[in-house]
């Protein structure tokens, strides 16, 4: 019998949720569990925090440079969050998708909604913190941030939470390993959808 080969189309995965919900750690763990999945590194005007490295956590740029790239159409989506600009590099994403790899974007809910409109095949996962108190503790735990920034982030968190109903999947991050397992399972199953396969 001739063997059957099924080609599977790559896709975008959006991970959003309030700051402090543990998204970055979840995404790191998901990348270790998933083959054919690559993270997009965003461009931001926010200054580096703690051990963050340019080109690894973000590409850190000045505001005028960000605006120049935005006006040249370099971003798949972009948004202003807590007074800083963040954008997803369009060329990297389309090149990676063309190479057959799926791309995971850790972005805010405004960006998530833009991706959903422009890429209806994208999979949107919302990471829910186990409770507001846990969220506050995690934000305080980032000793590099000032009180004022923490307060602004808590307000932002409440706004982000109100978007969960527009996401495809909700995963509660009360246990990081289980949360990463759940996200990896979602991505794996989504990759097997009939709509993404061609024989």
Contact residues for ligand 5GP, defined by CB under 6 A: 19, 23, 42, 46, 77, 79, 81, 86-88, 106-108, 110-111
Q: How far is the CB of 147 from ligand 5GP (least distance, A)?
A: 16
Choose between 10 and 88: whose C-beta lies nearer to ligand 5GP.
Answer: 88
Q: How far is the CB of 163 from ligand 5GP (least distance, A)?
A: 11
Q: Token match 């954008």: residue?
A: 87
Choose between 46 and 196: whose C-beta lies nearer to ligand 5GP.
Answer: 46
Using an 8 Å Cβ cutoff, are 190 and 11 in contact?
yes
Q: How far apart are CA 101 and CA 58, in angstroms?
A: 20
Q: How far apart are CA 76 and CA 90, in angstroms?
A: 4
- Lookup: tokens for 25: 């750690």
Q: How far is the CB of 81 from ligand 5GP (least distance, A)?
A: 4
Q: Where are the beta strands (DSSP E) in 17-143?
A: 37-39, 43-44, 59-60, 75-81, 84-89, 102-106, 123-128
Using an 8 Å Cβ cutoff, are 169 and 186 in contact?
yes
Q: How far is the CB of 87 from ligand 5GP (least distance, A)?
A: 5
Choose between 112 and 191: whose C-beta lies nearer to ligand 5GP.
Answer: 112
Q: How far is the CB of 108 from ligand 5GP (least distance, A)?
A: 4
Parallel, antiparallel, or unpaired: how do β-strands 37-39 and 102-106 relate? parallel
Choose between 108 and 190: whose C-beta lies nearer to ligand 5GP.
Answer: 108
CB closest to ligand 5GP, residue no: 111
Q: How far apart are CA 94 and CA 157, in angstroms?
A: 30
Q: How far apart are CA 110 and CA 81, in angstroms?
A: 9
Q: How far is the CB of 5 from ligand 5GP (least distance, A)?
A: 35
Choose between 20 and 191: whose C-beta lies nearer to ligand 5GP.
Answer: 20
Choose between 95 and 193: whose C-beta lies nearer to ligand 5GP.
Answer: 95
């Amino acid at each position: 019998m001739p063997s059957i080969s099924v080609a599977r189309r790559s896709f975008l995965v959006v991970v959003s949720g309030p700051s402090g919900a543990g998204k970055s750690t979840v995404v790191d763990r998901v990348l270790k569990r998933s083959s054919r999945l690559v993270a997009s590194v965003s461009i931001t005007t926010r200054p580096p925090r703690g051990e963050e490295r340019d080109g690894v956590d973000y590409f850190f740029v000045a505001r005028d440079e960000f605006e120049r790239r935005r006006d040249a159409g370099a971003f798949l989506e972009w948004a202003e969050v807590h007074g800083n600009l963040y954008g997803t590099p369009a060329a990297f994403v389309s090149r990676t998708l063309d190479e057959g790899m799926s791309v995971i974007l850790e972005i805010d809910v405004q960006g998530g909604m833009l991706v959903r409109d422009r890429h209806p095949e994208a999979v949107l996962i919302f990471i829910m913190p186990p409770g507001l108190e846990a969220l506050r503790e995690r934000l305080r735990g980032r000793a590099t941030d000032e009180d004022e920034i923490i307060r602004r982030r808590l307000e932002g968190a409440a706004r982000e939470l109100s978007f969960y109903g527009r996401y495809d999947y909700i995963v509660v991050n009360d246990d990081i390993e289980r949360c990463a397992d759940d996200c990896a399972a979602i991505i794996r199953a989504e990759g097997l959808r009939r709509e993404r396969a061609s024989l």
